Structure formats: structure tokens, C-alpha cells
Amino acid sequence: MIHSLPVFLAVTVIFMGGCAVMTGTTLARTWRPWWHGAAYALGLGAADRFIGFALFGAPLLSPSGYALDTALLAAATLAAWRVARVRRLCGQYPWLYERTGPFGWRDKITHRH
């Protein structure tokens, strides 16, 4: 599954994970739905497998490796999408919404004191 831990950390977690975060953030900033991020994660997983293969000799056609890489990249993409969506929604409509944490918001109108 993991050919080499340093390669996995460098390529999948740091490099492609950064790409996944940028993808999720960009999708949220342009008001795209969450499932676009899940679809893009499939391509990021394939690119990750190719980079590991081309630069470090990792197996290219490893279903378990692809599944692990893609799951990690999908999680990063969707988490970044949610954080950016909350930031954008609360920043653009501060009279309607307030943040309740990095992943959530609430309606200010129904929660007035």
C-alpha cells in the first residue's frame, strides 16, 4: 500500500495535500457545490500516484494505494471547502450569519437575544 513513508509524506501529504487544500478553497470561493471537490479528488489521487511512480518508482497501478491517497486528498479538499465556505458566507453576509467554529455557522436572525 505505502511504498515508502517519506515518499508518502512528501508527495501525498505535503505536496498533493496542499493542492487539495487549494482546490477546496477555490471551489468554495466560486460557490461550487461540495461534490465538485470529491470529483476533483479522484484526479488528484491519480496525479499523486503518477508523481510517486515517475519520481520515486512507487507502483502506479495499486488500487489500495490509489484508494488511500484519494481518500486522504478528498478529506483535505472537502475540509478546506467547508472552512472556506463558512469564511466566505459569514464574511459576505455578516448581518445574516455568524461563525460557530471553523466548520459551522448559525443564522443571526433566529438567534437574537
Q: How distant, in Å, are the alpha carbons of 16, 29, 40, 60 from that of 22?
A: 10, 10, 11, 24
Predicted local confidence at residue 1, as pLDDT: 52
- How many domains does the chain fold into? 1
Domain membership of residue 113 (yes or no) is: no
Domain membership of residue 34 (yes or no) is: yes
Q: What's the rounded mean pLDDT across residues 87-105?
A: 92
Worst-scoring range by mean pLDDT, 25-29, 33-37, 96-100, 109-113?
109-113
**Residue 111: how many CA atoms within 13 Å on its side-chain side?**
10
| Per-residue pLDDT band at 3 (split at 50, 70, 90) | low
Domain span holding position 42: 5-107
Tell me the whole-structure pTM to 2 decimals: 0.86
What does the pLDDT look like over 52-83, one tens digit per residue? Answer: 999 988 888 989 999 999 999 999 999 999 99
